[in-house]
Amino acid sequence: MFRPGELDQYITVQEQVNTPDGIGGNSVAWSDKFDIWAHVRPLSGREVTDYERVNAEARYLFVVRSPVDIKEGDRLVWDGTEFNIRVLKVPKGRDLYMQIEAERGVAQA
């Protein structure tokens, strides 16, 4: 498993909030929820060509101490880069860590 000393990267968890746009509607913005120490490891990457553009995508594993209030609609910011959460592996029983698979380089679905 993981040791506390391996959680050596500082990440920010952000949540999506609706803010009034002044003309009767709402605009979507991201607001910082909290900062937390994490272990970060790259899992996979690929390049996709869409409409003559090359898009690079990368999937990472983030491991944080549990319990923590992270939802699949949130996103992570690590080293100035935004990552969309794809899979939350919720700890069971006495597990000390939560594993989060997140993707860089793609829009939130």
Residue 26 maps to a domain:
yes
Question: Would 56 be classed as within a structural domain?
Answer: yes
Residue 46 domain flag: yes
Quick check: is 82 in a domain? yes
What pLDDT is stored for residue 108 in this prediction?
52
3-state class of 80 per DSSP? coil
pLDDT of 36: 96
CB atoms within 10 A of CB 5: 7
Whether residue 83 lies inside any domain: the answer is yes
Instruction: Say what the pLDDT of residue 81 is.
Output: 93
For residue 73, being part of any structural domain is answered with yes
**Which of 76, 75, 84 lies closest to 39, judged by CA?**
76
Q: Quote the domain boundaries for residue 16.
A: 4-104
Is 90 domain-assigned? yes
Question: 100: domain CATH number?
Answer: 2.40.10.270
Tell me, what's the pLDDT at 109? 47
pLDDT along the chain (109 residues), means of 10: 86 93 88 96 76 76 92 94 92 88 74
Could you give the number of structural domains in the chain?
Answer: 1
Is 93 within the bounds of a domain? Answer: yes
Written as six digits, the tokens of 99 are 């594993």
Of the candidates 42, 35, 12, the one whose C-alpha atom is nearest the C-alpha of residue 104 is 42
Strands 53-65 and 75-78: unpaired
